[in-house]
């Protein structure tokens, strides 16, 4: 747990930028199962929209906040990743498993996007700087 706390920014960046896309490409190249049919059967609007709104309420993210778009992108990536994983496992008719898996992975990606959304805070934390705000200094 201490390793994760020290390196969580790099681990989350790797999760969102490298691992997910590589897994999707790997599954597309190996899998003969029809991924497009699963995308049509389990649409984002039906299976993810409600969960995304619930997570936004849980973490107090408003539509006009800068974190909103990052979290939306992460939730769509989580959806694509889950559909590809479920197609690899050939779980086309298991709606309960697909819905549960999407919900679990979407929360992980949502938290990762929240951690990575504030670049200035992360940069200061990595380099040991203190962050200045507009009201912190006097002219």
Q: If you search the block for the tokens 């049509």, which residue do you land on?
A: 40
Joined together, the tokens standing for residue 103 give 């919900």
* pLDDT value for 21: 93
| Residue 122 or residue 22, greater confidence | 22
For the chain, how far is it from start to end, CA to CA, in angstroms?
43
Confidence bin at 17 (pLDDT 50/70/90):
confident
User: Is residue 89's pLDDT more than 70?
Assistant: yes
Domain boundaries, the chain: 2-136
Report the range of poorest mean pLDDT among 13-17, 30-34, 77-81, 105-109: 30-34
Distance (Å, whole) CA 42 – CA 135: 48
Joined together, the tokens standing for residue 75 give 């939730």
pTM: 0.83
* pLDDT value for 115: 87
Contacts of 35 (CB under 8 A, 6+ apart): 27, 28, 83, 84, 87
pLDDT per residue over 29-76, tens digit each?
887 678 888 888 889 999 899 999 999 999 999 999 888 999 999 999
* pLDDT value for 81: 94
What proportions of the chain, in percent to the nearest 5, are helix, strand and coil? 80, 0, 20
- One DSSP character per residue, the chain reads -HHHHHHHHHHHHHIIIIIHHHHHHHHHHH--S-HHHHHHHS-HHHHTHHHHHHHHHHTT--TTSHHHHHHHHHHHHHHHHHHHHHHHTT-TT-HHHHHHHHHHHHHHHHHHHHHHH-HHHHHHHHHTPPPP-GGG---
Average the pLDDT over 103-121 and give the result. 87
Residues making up the chain, counted from first to last: 139
Average the pLDDT over 14-24 and give the result. 90
């Amino acid at each position: 747990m201490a390793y994760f706390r020290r390196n969580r920014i790099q681990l989350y960046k790797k999760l969102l930028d490298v691992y997910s896309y590589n897994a999707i490409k790997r599954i597309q190249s190996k899998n003969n199962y029809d991924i497009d049919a699963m995308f049509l059967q389990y649409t984002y609007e039906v299976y993810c929209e409600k969960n995304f709104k619930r997570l936004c309420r849980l973490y107090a993210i408003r539509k006009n906040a800068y974190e909103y778009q990052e979290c939306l992108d992460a939730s769509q990536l989580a959806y694509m990743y889950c559909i590809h994983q479920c197609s690899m496992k050939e779980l086309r008719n298991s709606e309960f498993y697909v819905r549960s898996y999407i919900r679990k992975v979407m929360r992980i990606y949502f938290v990762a996007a929240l951690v990575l959304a504030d670049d200035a805070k992360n940069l200061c934390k990595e380099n040991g700087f203190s962050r200045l705000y507009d009201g912190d200094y006097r002219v």
